[in-house]
A and B are shown apart, each in its own frame.
Chain A
Amino acid sequence: MAYALQQLINGLTLGAVYGLIAIGYTMVYGIIGMINFAHGDIFMVSAFIAVTAFTLLAAFDITSLPLAITAVLIVAIFFTSAYGWAVERMAYRPLRGSTRLAPLISAIGMSIFLQNMVQLTQGARVKPIPPVIEGGIVLWTTPDFTVQIAWTQILIILVTVVLMVAFTWLITQTSFGRQQRACEQDSTMTALLGINVDRTISLTFMLGAALAAVAGVMVTVYYGVVDFYIGFVAGIKAFTAAVLGGIGSLPGAMLGGLLIGLIESFWAAYLSAEYKDVATFAILILVLMFRPSGLLGRPEVEKV
């Protein structure tokens, strides 16, 4: 029981991170209908930026935790958004209106490029940083197991909740949100109404990248190590989460992320750690077979 509770906490933390990345996939898919394959690598870039930023802060002896984390978040969001913007501008925008496969290939190319660029400039080895926040709250002690929620886990869940609220407000209440949703429904009509579709798409990429940046910082804080390969795995999991929740749906992405996180940690804890990725994909396949529009997606009626 205690063990299960611990897995629940771990799963929720992991799920929050997947959810943050999944939103980037879902938004981009919603607005231009493509799988932004490089999104996982954008997340990876942000983790590396976070490592550099934390190390720099340590060098300048900035030890105040809230200050350090805020500073790192701002730096990471800034630079990662720039990457998100640049990727869209260079690799996807020229391909708008061409076949459906062309941007996908370009995105895979971008993903390979980013991975190798980071490997070249930052080194192929795993980067460990000293723990940023230590300790946690002991929730429950049984004779053979102690359930603990680490401060980092609280931080991750809190930040995710705050971001989700802010994000929902942004999409549903602001003028940008309306433009964004309008582009999703019909970009040609939106353009005819005098809305700058290119700008809206760019902003969508930057927003997605910003959320991935937060996820990157959180992962760095949580695990304390990053390497250039984390983007691929996390990206695939997050995309799975987006599909699971119903692609195009923001709450769906978050829900999908949480589910994937929970499935993964429970599967690893009770069944087999080696096959946790198999579990994720197997569940994805089952969901798609029986509910192709995902959990919260709108069902599509085949238009004839």
Chain B
Amino acid sequence: MSAVIVARHARTPTERFKDAAWVAFVALLLGIPMVGMTTVDQGGALVVTTRFGVLAAFVAASFAGRFAFRWVMDQYRTRRDAKSTTVKVDRTAKVVQVLGWGILGVALFLPAMYSDNRYVVDTATTVLIYVMLGWGLNVVVGLAGLLDLGYVAFYAVGAYTYALLFTHFGWTFWEALPAAGAMAATFGILLGYPILRLRGDYLAIVTLGFGEIIRVILVNWTELSNGPNGIGSIPRPTLFGLPFERNPAEGEQSFATFFGLEFSGMHRIIFLYYLILVLALLTNLFVSRLRKLPVGRAWEALREDEIACKAMGMNVTNVKLSAFAIGAMLGGFAGVFFAARQGFISPESFTFSESAIILAIVVLGGMGSQMGVVLAALVLVLLPELGRNFAEYRMLLFGTAMVLIMVWKPSGLLSSREPTIRLAKASAMGGQK
């Protein structure tokens, strides 16, 4: 259509220079008000200070960066064109499988390798929470094709259900887990029912609205949620009743005393890690299995063509609601884990940017791809972690990564789709004609 036509020939140095000069000029223009100047508070009044040195560096960096980027791209392109005759075999499915088992192996032994490094295990736990949330949202967005910008609402419902069930009724993690899942699913259905008629973008904005409504209610309904102060001292999960505490209650055993180990704070961290790993793997199994069931196929069919679904006699509303409810339930489970891990929750943890991150993981991973979610969660959580020495650049890097990955691979990192059934295999399994 109106896509940019990229010149196929390698650029001459002059062209490359001109191109980079143009980029530098744009950088200068954009940089003047933001990089070049700033206002600082001086004795109660604002004063403009200039940073032309930084601006010059920024412009120079843009020039050099663009010049180098073009040069590398040209080199790459000429080389690729030279050997473009080789037939490309699509081995994605195989690679993904191997990669999946590899990552699973690493995930299983990670705490053993880093048993004294709290930071690594903590970060891995965070990655796994996002993986689980991604898999949950993948049902709604990736499979059923319903754009949901308020997924964090269900995450919040899960977390608050556990927190409230504990503070009011003393429920433990394991008792609250199914209840919170059910609660989140109910919310999914209640919120979903009136709006599922809406087309894609309207659905997006309304779900965004729901997410914000839930957050605003959590902030303001102080009697229920304790408002912005949040709810604290939420108990950590136990291992079959064994708590991870230094001093267990009188007459009870803790994890350390039961196994005759010396108490260590790392036990709990590692336990939490394995817990979320198990939850995430169960989620994966569950969703992968659902995908091969009528309901899962109906989700994908719905994503592909809603009108055709109706013409096949499919009750589209039920299909959409089931996607919403199951996605919400998985988000609720993740919320319970989040509350238990943090021990403290407040509305601040459930802002729109959280929804945006989860959605980004699903879309960057490649809609509907389970493995893609893992890769995207790894990239999006770990990439900013690399810059954690410059903590203030974390979110900047995050935003940049989102834009760059999308521009580089608009259909996501892993976009190939594995069929849910194959004729050859299926016939072998007993479906002889």
Which positions 209-245 of chain A face chain B at CB distance < 8 Å? 232, 236, 239-240, 243
Given contacts A82-B26, A86-B30, contact A106 B406 (CB under 8 A): yes
Contact A96 B400 (CB under 8 A): no
**Is the CB of B46 closer than 8 A to any CB of chain A?**
yes
**Within the complex, what minimum Cβ distance (angstroms) separates A83 from chain B?**
6
**Is the CB of B416 closer than 8 A to any CB of chain A?**
no
A-B contact count (CB 8 A): 194
Which positions 262-293 of chain A face chain B at CB distance < 8 Å? 274-275, 277-278, 280-282, 284-285, 288-289, 292
Q: CB < 8 Å: which of A105, A113, A275, A282 contacts B400?
A: A113
**Within the complex, what minimum Cβ distance (angstroms) separates A231 from chain B?**
12
Task: State the main secondary structure of chain B at its contact with A.
Answer: helix
- Total residues of chain A contacting the partner, CB 8 A: 77
Given contacts A95-B406, A105-B363, A113-B400, contact A59 B47 (CB under 8 A): yes
Contact B407 A91 (CB under 8 A): yes
Q: CB < 8 Å: which of B197, B392, B398 contacts A289?
A: B197
In the complex, chain A residues whose CB is within 8 Å of the CB of B212: 236, 277-278, 281
Contact B402 A292 (CB under 8 A): no
Partner-contacting stretch, out of B35-43, B86-94, B318-326:
B35-43
Contact A52 B411 (CB under 8 A): no
Given contacts A198-B2, A281-B213, contact A79 B38 (CB under 8 A): no
**Is the CB of A4 closer than 8 A to any CB of chain B?**
no
Contact B45 A130 (CB under 8 A): yes
- C-alpha gap A88/B198 in the complex (Å): 27
Contact A96 B1 (CB under 8 A): yes
In the complex, chain A residues whose CB is within 8 Å of the CB of B293: none
Partner-contacting stretch, out of B130-138, B154-162, B202-210, B265-273:
B202-210
A35 and chain B: residue at smallest CB distance? B201
Contact A48 B46 (CB under 8 A): no
**Is the CB of B353 closer than 8 A to any CB of chain A?**
yes
Contact B213 A282 (CB under 8 A): yes
Contact A284 B220 (CB under 8 A): no
- C-alpha gap A137/B209 in the complex (Å): 37
**Is the CB of B61 closer than 8 A to any CB of chain A?**
no
In the complex, chain A residues whose CB is within 8 Å of the CB of B35: 121
In the complex, chain A residues whose CB is within 8 Å of the CB of B98: none
Q: CB < 8 Å: which of A49, A97, A280 contacts B33?
A: A49
Q: CB < 8 Å: which of A117, A129, A281 contacts B396?
A: A117
- C-alpha gap A109/B380 in the complex (Å): 11
Contact A117 B213 (CB under 8 A): no
Contact B48 A285 (CB under 8 A): no
In the complex, chain A residues whose CB is within 8 Å of the CB of B38: 52, 121-123
- Chain A 98-136, CB within 8 Å of chain B: the 1/0 string? 111111111011111111111111110101111000000
Given contacts A105-B402, A191-B1, contact A274 B216 (CB under 8 A): yes
Q: CB < 8 Å: which of B1, B217, B353, B359 contacts A97?
A: B1
- C-alpha gap A128/B364 in the complex (Å): 39
**Within the complex, what minimum Cβ distance (angstroms) separates B183 from chain A?**
20
In the complex, chain A residues whose CB is within 8 Å of the CB of B197: 289, 292
**Is the CB of B174 closer than 8 A to any CB of chain A?**
no
**Within the complex, what minimum Cβ distance (angstroms) separates B278 from chain A?**
30
Which positions 216-247 of chain B face chain A at CB distance < 8 Å? 216-217, 219-220
- C-alpha gap A187/B33 in the complex (Å): 34
Contact B34 A45 (CB under 8 A): yes
Contact B205 A101 (CB under 8 A): no
- C-alpha gap A243/B37 in the complex (Å): 36
**Is the CB of A63 closer than 8 A to any CB of chain B?**
no
A76 and chain B: residue at smallest CB distance? B33
Contact B2 A197 (CB under 8 A): yes
Given contacts A79-B33, A86-B30, A278-B217, contact A288 B210 (CB under 8 A): no
Given contacts A121-B38, A127-B39, contact A90 B209 (CB under 8 A): no
Contact B363 A102 (CB under 8 A): yes
- C-alpha gap A304/B195 in the complex (Å): 21
**Within the complex, what minimum Cβ distance (angstroms) separates B46 from chain A?**
5
In the complex, chain B residues whose CB is within 8 Å of the CB of A123: 38, 40
- Chain A 60-102, CB within 8 Å of chain B: the 1/0 string? 0000000000000001000100110010001101111111111
**Is the CB of A51 closer than 8 A to any CB of chain B?**
yes
Q: CB < 8 Å: which of A109, A274, A302 contacts B220?
A: A274
Contact B399 A51 (CB under 8 A): no
Contact A95 B39 (CB under 8 A): no
**Is the CB of B410 closer than 8 A to any CB of chain A?**
yes
Contact A108 B194 (CB under 8 A): no
Contact A118 B34 (CB under 8 A): yes
Contact B410 A95 (CB under 8 A): yes
* Extra contacts besides A101-B367, A110-B399, A284-B206 (11): CB < 8 Å: A55-B46, A79-B32, A102-B363, A111-B399, A112-B356, A122-B38, A122-B39, A188-B2, A281-B206, A289-B195, A292-B202
Q: Which residues of B contact A (CB under 8 A)?
A: 1-4, 26, 29-30, 32-35, 37-41, 45-48, 141, 147, 194-195, 197-202, 204-206, 208-210, 212-213, 216-217, 219-220, 307, 352-353, 356, 359-360, 363-364, 367, 392-393, 395-396, 398-403, 406-407, 410-411
* 13 examples of A-B residue contacts, CB within 8 angstroms: A51-B46, A52-B38, A79-B30, A114-B399, A116-B393, A120-B396, A198-B4, A240-B209, A274-B220, A278-B217, A285-B209, A288-B202, A292-B202
In the A-B complex, the 5 residue pairs with the smallest Cβ-Cβ separation, listed nearest first, are: A109-B402, A113-B399, A112-B399, A281-B209, A98-B410
